C-alpha cells in the first residue's frame, strides 16, 4: 500500500481555475463556492516530502490553508494587474458550496511548508 496526497486545486501563472475563468470571461457557476488551493511547485515538494518519510497506507492533504471563494480568487486576479484579460462574472446559483480544508496536521507530521503560502502572495510575487 502506498501513501496518497489529496491535492485540491493546483495552479501556476498560466494554469489553474483562474486561467480557465479568465479565458471564459463569464462562467455559469456560483461565485461563493470554496476552493482549497496549492501551487504546482508546492504540490510537488509536498509529494517528495511525503515519499521521503516512507509512510505507507496514509492519506495526506495538500492545500495552502487559505481557502478562497471563486469570486475572491478572480477579484485577486483582476486587482493584481498581472493579466491582460479581465474576468467578468460568475452567473450560477445552484452548484455546491464546497468546504474549507486545513492541512496543519500534514504539515506538522511531514515537516513541510509551502513556498507560496497563499494565492494572493503568489500573485504579488508574479
DSSP type of residue 31:
T
Residue range 66-76, pLDDT digits in tens: 999 999 999 99
Crossing angle of helices 17-24/70-80, nearest 10°? 70
Cell of 15: 494554469
Fold of 17-125: UDP-galactose 4-epimerase; domain 1 (3.90.25)
Which stretch of DSSP H or E encloses residue 11?
strand 9-11
* Helix spans in the chain (H): 17-24, 40-53, 70-80, 104-110, 119-124
| Count of Cβ atoms closer than 10 Å to residue 12 Cβ | 15
Locate the domains of the chain by residue range.
17-125
Taking only the tens place, the pLDDT of each residue in 95-112 is 888 899 999 999 999 999
* pTM of the complete model: 0.88
Each residue of 6-62: pLDDT tens digit?
A: 446 899 999 999 999 999 999 999 999 999 999 999 999 999 999 999 888 888 999
Amino acid at each position: 500500500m502506498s501513501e496518497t496526497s489529496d491535492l485540491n486545486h493546483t495552479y501556476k501563472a498560466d494554469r489553474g481555475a483562474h486561467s480557465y475563468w479568465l479565458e471564459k470571461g463569464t462562467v455559469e457557476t456560483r461565485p461563493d463556492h470554496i476552493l482549497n488551493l496549492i501551487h504546482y511547485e508546492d504540490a510537488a515538494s509536498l509529494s517528495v516530502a511525503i515519499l521521503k518519510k516512507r509512510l505507507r497506507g496514509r492519506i495526506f492533504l495538500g492545500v495552502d490553508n487559505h481557502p478562497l471563494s471563486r469570486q475572491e480568487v478572480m477579484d485577486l486576479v483582476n486587482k493584481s494587474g498581472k493579466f491582460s484579460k479581465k474576468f467578468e462574472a460568475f452567473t450560477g446559483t445552484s452548484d455546491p458550496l464546497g468546504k474549507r480544508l486545513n492541512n496543519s496536521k500534514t504539515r506538522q507530521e511531514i515537516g513541510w511548508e509551502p513556498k507560496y503560502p497563499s494565492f494572493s502572495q503568489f500573485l504579488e510575487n508574479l
